[in-house]
Homo-oligomer: A and B are copies of this chain.
């Protein structure tokens, strides 16, 4: 077994900086090979990795096996994305010497930003950790990665890091393409290191904000992509609540308990019409529904990962009297049912909801027509809106959006899951009247990478 590449921040940053130029200029095929080599190595080490993970997190081998499959799937998706080439945004405006003024030849593509710091999450020890989505996206963008290990699974972090380092070495990736650092102070040092050009984080609002502030206060500020917290509101329309209450109740009970309620997409606030059977049906499944008032909270009492699943219930008026307390994310298997008495009350509660990753709507066609204003208001507050379903499943594909207005993420312009998440680590670079010998492959006349490009304003397929 290779030694895990645990490094000081200084060493990791120096090595990453020295790898950055070579990695940024590596071709799509080389990068895809690198991503697949890591996926293959994780598969080869699957049983020992799942074993280490289960010992350390007690999440269970079924869940961890599935999460590792998702993790290797992410790496392979990015290999496909890199080769497909749309991410390069290759654009050519040809010269016209007869124009007034004469028009130069200008060619644009996206290139990697440089070393990226990835802060691993606690709740997904594979998929948002050492070899998780942020790492895969940064490699796909051609950026070296320095992972700050999460203290919740240190042995797994080292074990995964050793597998990754060995795979990258055998795949011929530039040394310094990957490194691991550990420790709270090291995490702070990493985001302020001059060589680090961007950072990605999944975790708490408080921790993320502290690192965001450090990134923004640098002499040279860097982008900090934090996925921080999300209450993920659910709206149940009156007709749907009347017609399919049992189905909605069962779906909710399953969804908010997934992963012990630690998913960032957990439905944490459920708006149900006054007088529906939903609270009672949920209570029947859980034997535990607790009423809360405006003086309850802050959320300390509701942070109950070790306790039985708990649903709290209250009214829209109560929430509106104390939105700061009751509309805060709670980690763990809990959710808050809120009864609304009218469309106006529903609109008022939605208007008080902070930015979120998702919103879910359970409604029939007539409900949807009545809820049009509420739907629009929800869309302004979230990155993904789910109909007649639950937000806890996050597909890793081309269309996924995992991000939303503050405080869901520090930067709502991007996603941290799916094909487009590598855009976080890219910047445009334009060549004007460049000799052919100087142009990167993506911009050469013959289109040797066979990628989609825009020529004189017209999009052309590969």
Contact = CB atoms under 8 A, between A and B. Distances in A.
Interface string A382-424: 1111111100010101111101011100111111000110011
A18 to B, nearest CB: 13
B432 A385 contact: yes
Given A216-B216, A428-B401, A430-B385, A395 B103 contact: yes
B91 A399 contact: yes
A146 to B, nearest CB: 18
Interface centre among A21, A365, A432, A434 (most CB of B within 10 A): A432
Contacts of A432: 384-387, 389
Given A398-B93, A412-B113, A379 B429 contact: yes
Interface stretch (A35-43, A179-187, A452-460): A452-460
B398 A435 contact: no
A116 to B, nearest CB: 13
Contacts of A101: 393
Given A397-B457, A430-B385, A420 B89 contact: yes
Given A108-B401, A380-B21, A387-B432, A427 B413 contact: yes
Given A395-B104, A428-B401, A21 B376 contact: yes
A293 to B, nearest CB: 26
A212 interface: yes
A276 interface: no
Given A420-B89, A461-B461, A383 B428 contact: yes
A426 interface: yes
Contacts of A84: 457, 459
Size class of the A contact interface (CB-based, 8 Å): 35 or more
Contacts of A430: 383-385, 399-401
Given A389-B432, A433-B389, A454 B398 contact: yes
Nearest to A406: B220
A86 interface: yes
A213 interface: yes
A106 interface: yes
A89 B401 CA distance: 12
A427 to B, nearest CB: 4
A347 interface: no
Contact of A397 (B106, B406, B427, B438): B106
A92 interface: yes
Contact of A433 (B212, B216, B386, B424): B386
Given A385-B429, A393-B101, A428-B420, A91 B398 contact: yes
A397 B96 CA distance: 13
A375 interface: yes
A385 B111 CA distance: 14
A93 B398 CA distance: 7
B398 A457 contact: yes
A175 interface: no
A461 B423 CA distance: 22
A368 B433 contact: no
A399 to B, nearest CB: 4
A323 interface: no
Contact of A399 (B107, B386, B398, B414): B107
Contact of A413 (B91, B398, B399, B426): B426
The 5 closest A-B pairs by CB, nearest first: A216-B216, A401-B430, A220-B406, A108-B399, A386-B432
Interface of A: 21, 25, 80, 84, 86, 89, 91-93, 101, 103-104, 106-108, 111, 113-114, 212-213, 216-217, 220-221, 223, 355, 365, 368, 375-376, 379-380, 382-389, 393, 395, 397-401, 403, 405-407, 410-415, 419-420, 423-424, 426-435, 437-438, 452, 454, 456-457, 459, 461
20 contacts: A86-B454, A89-B420, A93-B397, A104-B389, A106-B395, A113-B413, A212-B221, A220-B406, A221-B410, A375-B438, A383-B429, A385-B432, A386-B432, A387-B431, A387-B432, A389-B433, A398-B456, A401-B430, A412-B427, A419-B457
